[in-house]
Amino acid sequence: MPSVSTSFRHAPRCGITVLAFLSFMSVNAQAAVTVDPDEDKKQPSLSAGKADSKKRADKKTDLKKNGSEANEVPGSIEQLLVLGRRPNATTDGTGTYTVRAVTTTKMLMKPQDVPQSISVLSTQQMKDQNLNTIDAALKQVAGVNVNLYGDGTAGYSARGFQLQAQYDGVPTSGSLNLSQQYDLAIYDRIEVLRGPSGLLQGAGTPAGSVNFVHKRPTDQFQANGSFSAGSWNNYHAMIDVGGPIGNSKIVSTRLVMAGTDRDFFYKNASDRRWTIYSATDFRLTHHDTLSVMVSYQGNDTTRFMGLPRSATGGDLNLARSTFIGSNWNTSSAPMVEVEGQWEHVFSHGWRARVNGRHRTSDTTLQYAYVSSYNAAAQTANFTAANTKYSEVNDGVDGYFTGPVHLFGQTHTLMAGADYNHYVYQGGGASLTATSNPQLRGISIFSPDRLSSITLPTIRNRYREPSDQWGVYGQALIKPVSTFSILLGGRISGYVSKEQQLGPTRGPMETSINQQGILTPYIGGVWRVIPAISLYASYTSIFSPQSAYDTQGRLAPVRGNQIEGGIKGDLFNHGLGFTVAGYKIIERNESIYNSSLGMVCGPSHNDDCYLSTGKTRSQGAEVEVIGRPARGWDINASYTFNDNTILNNGNATQAGLAYAPNSPRHLWKLWTHYRFEPYVGAENNIWSIGGGINAQSGTFGTNRLVTQKGYIVASAQVGYQWNRHLEATATLNNISNTRYYQRLGNLNYYNYYGEPRNFMFTLRSNF
């Protein structure tokens, strides 16, 4: 894999231009297609397995248009319906921000019928805002915090905890944090369920889960493409082509290619990534469909560990273009993913689905970062790090669901099982200023001495496999037509092992083995009137622990949530809203037992812990999304989150907020309006859009590092020549607000937000 990253790094920038050219040639294609730098973790033993913590340590259907029916002529190039698709929750081609259903629950429920906070980012909003990356997309979702790590990865959290990931409903081990993600172009939508999701996720945190749903083949030919150019040589191009193979419509396929070639607003840093994705459906019978999806992404990103702060935690007021590191700071993580899905439709509305997923990645990280800083002299001692590891994530999920007619009402049953196997293999090494004088007293503005540093050889390597299984079920019971009860539960098992591979091979040891863990679920929805519902739910999740007390291994961390609120479905299903209140208690967290020595564990030579840690997260959310009037789309939200330490073993911290970079108040707004002179207009149409992201003050991984609240606004103007071609110009951070998009400690992981910048996008559709 190193050879891949090397060749990619030196790929000519003209490649992005070629892809852009292909994007617009797609219009004519119809005839041809018949360390510990990562201090964010709470307790070392709280992760869902040591594989994830080791990784951190080493990396340290109908188109609705404002209530009108689908047979109206589409008015914009985004409202061209993907004709003939199967009835499901697909957003591609609907032209709206609202969705007909969500698949996170596996029962294709309307968002208004889910007794929990759930948000969906549709294809249309992604296009309107020119969103190309997962971190840019999740920044627009209610209640989600995004904190970049300076190497193409990010940390994602909600309600004070780290979010988990699913891909087409298949859960994965570990959180989203520090994981490379594919270009947004391959996804139809992103479903974000906030609050514990243990029923279908298994092990995790109370934050919730993010379900990435891939684009699927279309039953009729379609092609679209886009090309974007922006500040700091930021280029992105995409082409998306799909349709049936031949005339039988037994086989249909879809191909997506995307590329990014950009420099950052800070010096000496760039990001190059190329993505290719294909999906093929085989309609084996009228009742059976087999789907195969294959993805590849190569990337080469400059690894930037952020800026230092003063000894008291204050802002040093460095130029936002400041880059601190070496010219060999790099990050490369090529990924391959293969997914297969079989779906069988029974009679009487029952269906069964089996999904299998295999993802591999090989990560190389080489970087230098500040280990101590002298503000007066503007010099620093550095650490040089070399990390290489591979990851394999195999998952399978199978379930069946369908209606049951009893007592004059229609109920729904769902049952299934899943299994996930994750393997981390690799290690890292570092040089410090203590061991290498060349790393001492280097000017942060001219760190030329770092160029001559020879990276250390990696000697300590580990292999850490983990396995998780679960059996789950849920019933949606309707005593009366206006009231539904959801009852469900899951029984899970989790095993994590570790083995040292170098410098000498050691035995495979079991670090976690916890079986038969029950996570219940109960919820209710009362439809007061057809457009308004009240709901309440109790949800739960668990996280295995590797720590010991004097009696043995600690029980899993438990997260439980009570949530209630009101949901609305207004303007003939064109506008949805949610008002929610929640309270989460996470208990059984491990706390180091300083009164005992290393006398715990099977060999009585491990540190001792107590399972007395406890945290609380409570708050409220308001979200409005959809189309209140013809041509006007909006996605607005407000989140209030109060996360508090109840007990972490330090009496002086009881009552303090526990989650860094998690604001108490969070506002998000995006709105877009098309000046259509009449329904179905196609030519010479102007549009305007704009948004704000605002938050209250936060603190970093060191509590001395703080910042006040800030507001960042954007504005957009667009023009549609005809139903096939449109352009938009977007201005971001209009007021050139100076802020930190993430706070770390006194030495690194402090990142300024982007200064004022623009993006021009040309989009074609056929």
Asked if the model's pLDDT at residue 48 lies above 50, the reply is no
- Token pair belonging to 120: 């969906």
When pLDDT is cut at 50, 70 and 90, the band that residue 489 belongs to is very high
Taking residues 340-352, report their average pLDDT.
94
Asked if the model's pLDDT at residue 45 lies above 50, the reply is no
When pLDDT is cut at 50, 70 and 90, the band that residue 571 belongs to is very high
Instruction: Please answer whether residues 189 and 215 qualify as being in contact, where contact means their C-beta atoms are separated by less than 8 angstroms.
Output: no
Taking residues 539-555, report their average pLDDT.
94
Which residues fall within 8 angstroms of residue 235, CB to CB, at 6 or more apart? Answer: 13, 16, 17, 20, 227, 228, 229, 259, 260, 261, 262
Angle ∠(638,642,647) on CA atoms, nearest 5: 160
Q: Which of 19-23, 50-54, 174-178, 666-670 has the lowest mean pLDDT?
A: 50-54
The pLDDT value given to residue 242: 94
Instruction: Tell me how long the chain is.
Output: 766
The pLDDT value given to residue 178: 85
> What's the CA dihedral at 321, 322, 325, 328 to 10 degrees?
30
The pLDDT value given to residue 38: 44
649-658 long-range CB contacts below 8 Å, 24 or more apart?
649/591, 649/592, 649/610, 649/612, 649/613, 656/703, 657/699, 658/42, 658/160, 658/615
Cα–Cα distance measured from residue 753 to residue 145, given in angstroms and rounded to the nearest whole number: 14
Taking residues 607-627, report their average pLDDT.
97
| CA distance from start to end of the chain | 37
Question: What's the chain's average pLDDT?
Answer: 88
For the chain, percent of residues with pLDDT exceeding 90: 80
When pLDDT is cut at 50, 70 and 90, the band that residue 375 belongs to is confident
The pLDDT value given to residue 680: 77
pLDDT in tens, 724-765: 999 999 999 999 999 999 999 999 999 999 999 999 999 999
184 versus 10: which is more confidently predicted? 184
The pLDDT value given to residue 9: 40
The pLDDT value given to residue 176: 84
Which residues fall within 8 angstroms of residue 553, CB to CB, at 6 or more apart? Answer: 512, 513, 514, 545, 546, 547
> What's the CA dihedral at 63, 246, 189, 263 to 10 degrees?
-120
Asked if the model's pLDDT at residue 383 lies above 60, the reply is yes
Cα–Cα distance measured from residue 498 to residue 506, given in angstroms and rounded to the nearest whole number: 9
When pLDDT is cut at 50, 70 and 90, the band that residue 61 belongs to is very low
Residue 212, Cβ neighbours under 10 Å: how many?
21
33 versus 108: which is more confidently predicted? 108
- Look up the pTM and report it: 0.89
Q: Which residues pair with 392 in a beta bridge?
A: 360, 423
Nearest Cα neighbor of 342 from 295, 400, 412, 255 is 400
Asked if the model's pLDDT at residue 67 lies above 50, the reply is no
The pLDDT value given to residue 177: 85
Asked if the model's pLDDT at residue 11 lies above 60, the reply is no
